[in-house]
Amino acid sequence: MESHTTKFKVRLGLFIAGGLIIFVVAVFIIGRQKNLFVPVYNLTTTFYNVSGLQVGNNIRFSGINVGTIDNIKIINDSTVKVDMLIQKNVQQFIKEDCEATIGSAGIIGDRILIITQGSSNAALAKDGQQIASKEPIETDAIFASLQVTADNAAIISFQLAEIMTKVNSGSGTLGRLLQDSTIAENINQTIVNLKQSSKGLDENMNAAKENFLFRGYFKRKIKAAEKVKLDSVEKKVEKQKEIDKKKK
């Protein structure tokens, strides 16, 4: 009987000890999340729509968790007030012109409040001060925009398919150009004629240079070109002399 009583007391003691350990761990975890063990100060901001933000969600500054959401309260039909608990050791970095915006901890993670960095010459945000906010982009709006983009892409793909079908069947100017061998041969012949015309023009220009009526004109053109080159060389030499004088 005494042995049975002893075992019962041992089990009871272990159960109570385990319960106390679980209680202490829970208090520690909750206290850490609520910043109960570190000095904090308060900031507030307002939103038109908090987009699923909840009390207890984290607050991030420069990508680091620096506090938690303490309270969310509806002020009127267009304003929701958000109270923040910020760790005291980051107060020196949060300025009056910082902005609060709502983001996500991941693609499908919890909502978080993000405080952007302010300007270097701005004053520090004081305890209880309200900072500006930037309204979050709703997920539904993003999906709606993506849907419009997808619909436009589908229309463009359908139109391109129609164009390629017409081209492959020889319809339209481009289709006839690609499918009709006669048009292709005519284009090739046109290119050959242009090359021959260009060659003939070069021959006529060479003949004109040899003609005594135009010989003086071409000589003057050559002299003018040589004079331009000579002037350019002289300017470069003078500029180099000025640079050398300055160095001396």
108 Cα distance to chain centroid = 20
* Coil vs helix vs strand at 185: helix
The token duo for 156 is: 């463009």
DSSP assignment of 128-169 equals TEE-EEEPPPPHHHHHHHHHHHHHHHHHHHHHHHHHHHHHHH
Distance from C-alpha of 57 to C-alpha of 113, rounded to nearest angstrom:
8
Residue corresponding to tokens 């100060």: 41
Distance from C-alpha of 110 to C-alpha of 47, rounded to nearest angstrom:
18
Distance from C-alpha of 145 to C-alpha of 202, rounded to nearest angstrom:
60
DSSP 105: S
What is the mean pLDDT of the segment spanning 225-242?
72
Percent of the chain with pLDDT over 90: 14
User: Do residues 76 and 45 make contact, with C-beta atoms less than 8 angstroms apart?
Assistant: no
User: Do residues 85 and 35 make contact, with C-beta atoms less than 8 angstroms apart?
Assistant: yes
Tens-place pLDDT, residues 191-220: 877 776 676 566 556 555 555 555 555 566
The token duo for 2 is: 């005494």
Domain ranges for the chain, please list them.
1-33, 39-136, 180-210
Tens-place pLDDT, residues 100-146: 998 887 766 788 999 999 888 889 888 889 999 888 766 656 666 77
Average pLDDT, the chain: 76
pLDDT confidence of residue 2: 56
Helix 181-210 to helix 212-247 angle, to the nearest 10 degrees?
90
Compute CA distances 37 → 12, 40, 112, 127, 212, whole Å: 32, 9, 21, 18, 106
- What are the residues facing 130 on neighbouring strands? 44
Torsional sign, CA 20, 23, 25, 31: negative
What is the mean pLDDT of the segment spanning 83-89?
90
Residue corresponding to tokens 């570190």: 38
pLDDT confidence of residue 212: 52
Strands across the sheet containing 79-87: 129-130, 40-47, 79-87, 64-76, 58-61, 111-115, 99-104, 132-134
- Closest by Cα among 98, 86, 25 to 59: 86
Query: What is the value of pTM for the model shown?
Result: 0.48
